[in-house]
Amino acid sequence: MAVNWFPGHMHKARKQIKEAMPQIDLVIEVMDARLPYSSENPLVEELRLDRPCIKILNKADLADPNTTQAWLQHFEQEKGVKAIAMSATQKGQARKILELAKRLFPDRNMALKPLCTMIMGIPNVGKSTLINSLAGKVIARVGNEPAVTKQQQKINLGNGILLFDTPGFLWPRFEDQNSGYRLAVTGAIKSTAIVFEDIALYACDYLLHAYPEALKERYKLKELPQRDFELLEEIGRKRGALRSGGKIDLHKAAEVLLQDIRSGALGRISMENPQLVAQQLAEAAAAAAAAAADEEE
């Protein structure tokens, strides 16, 4: 899927982040626990350089707990990185971030020299909700559509910690096709930029292999269809997504499935795990190498 969504404010955000980074001691990156790799912005690593980073796997209440644990272990192996799984909507969980931030700077007298942190993340990973939880009041606007935050701001969290907020921003183009689909499935891409049926079919194919029992339970299916198209039709049939003549309305069926995934109605679903991502990246690299070799011949 070729998604190209890079509004002007995102270009501005990248410039703002680069200019502000010399003041920053610690980077906090917010990702979606259901797809940590796909919701991780490659520019964060580039811009933070050697600064310590806390990676927040947000919306963990919607993700498969076993897969989330695997991701935590994966990120903890990276230099200078600590990882936390949480849900910013659950009261009190945000305090874990502040406690970890202080532990990373044990010799810092924050009364004399406040700890400057920057929170970063692509749209719709729950960054604004987390900021409000950290501040203990509504500071950042929260919305269901991506790209709500537009302006940079500095927030005093108290206890010697300053938080630089930045607009959510995506990279200009998804190099990994699977990441583009996964982001669309979880709602990180505006609905006007996607074809619902296409995204839902990708989700069907994945869920048939990864979470067959969840599909059976949610849609009261005794037997699962073998193919993604057949599954989407069956979901539409079960949910009354019918046109005149009894034909399945695939767009409506797609909306039903995607809403069930995004809301957690289908259960705690993760769209990727470290092994799957490693396999797909290896396959993509092999394909690229083969294509380059063919061009040389």
Looking up residue 267, the CATH number of its domain turns out to be: 1.10.1580.10
The pLDDT value given to residue 128: 85
Q: Which residues of the chain have pLDDT under 70?
A: 1-13, 140-152, 167-175
The token pair that represents 229 in the structure block? 């198209």
The pLDDT value given to residue 92: 84
Cα end-to-end span (Å), the chain: 29
> What is the arrangement of strands in the sheet containing 53-58, beginning at the earlier edge strand?
81-85, 53-58, 26-32, 115-120, 161-165, 153-158
Q: Is residue 3 within 8 Å of residue 180, measured between CB atoms?
A: yes
Inside any domain, residue 296? no
Q: Are residues 14 and 155 in the same domain?
A: yes
Inside any domain, residue 1? no
Phi, psi of 172 (to 5 degrees): -60, -35
The pLDDT value given to residue 171: 58
Q: Are residues 139 and 250 in the same domain?
A: no
pLDDT tens per residue, range 53-87: 999 999 999 999 999 999 999 999 999 999 999 99
Q: Are residues 148 and 197 in the same domain?
A: no
pLDDT tens per residue, range 245-290: 889 999 999 999 999 999 999 999 999 999 999 998 899 889 888 8
Element (H, E) at 108: none
Element (H, E) at 267: none
The residue range of the domain holding 42 is 9-165
- Please state the pTM of the whole predicted model: 0.87
Total tally of structural domains belonging to the chain: 2
Question: Could you give the 3-state DSSP secondary structure of residue 26?
Answer: strand
Q: Are residues 153 and 49 in the same domain?
A: yes
Contacts 24+ apart (CB under 8 A), 105-112: 105/25, 105/26, 108/160, 110/159, 110/160, 110/161, 111/160
Inside any domain, residue 151? yes
Q: If 0-12 CB within 10 Å is exposed, 13-18 middle and 19+ buried, where does residue 199 land?
A: buried
CA distance 123 to 66: 25
Q: How far is CA 104 from the centre of its chain?
A: 25
